[in-house]
Amino acid sequence: DHYLDWISETLLPLVGPKLRLATDRPNLGLLGSSLGGLISCYAGWTRDTFGRVGCMSSSFWWDNQWFNNTLLTDHTPPAKDTIFYVDSGDQPAPDGDDELETIGVRDHLQRLGWKFDETLFYYLQKGGAHNEASWGERFEIPMQWLYPLQTLAPA
């Protein structure tokens, strides 16, 4: 929570105007992988700051699957327009990527009302492992789903 407070209260006000970032909720996103993916999903579930969250190869196994078994069950859900992207690879141990835990979170989000290809996106990378190489190979996928290109009308 301290980390997310720092992002919202210190970092965004400092760099947002300088970099001309869209810091309004519908446009503001947070994306991470592994434990960074877990905290990104946590941020989307517990904060109204982020309207889009990318959770790549998230460590949903952490603390006996606390995110899925406790947070999604016991914490008030965010607004239904919060967009969640979750993914994993299908590589088995020792480079496994928590495919089953990710599918569990995906299915739980769907049962709670998130809609596939609208507010919930899921991707399984065939041969993907829990490492930077796999995340880099598929990074464009969450970016395309979280921030689709939009056609601008002529001025």
d(CA 91, CA 52): 27
What integer pLDDT is reported at residue 155 of this predicted model? 67
User: What tens digit of pLDDT does each residue of 20-54 get?
Assistant: 888 999 999 999 999 999 999 999 999 999 999 99
What letter does residue 120 receive in the DSSP assignment?
Answer: E
Q: Using alpha carbons only, what angle is made at residue 110 by residues 34 and 125, rounded to the nearest 5 degrees?
A: 40
> What is the predicted pLDDT for the residue at 150?
79
Residues 96 and 130: their CA atoms lie apart, in Å, by: 6
103-107-110 Cα angle (round to 5): 140
Across the strands, what pairs with 32?
Answer: 55
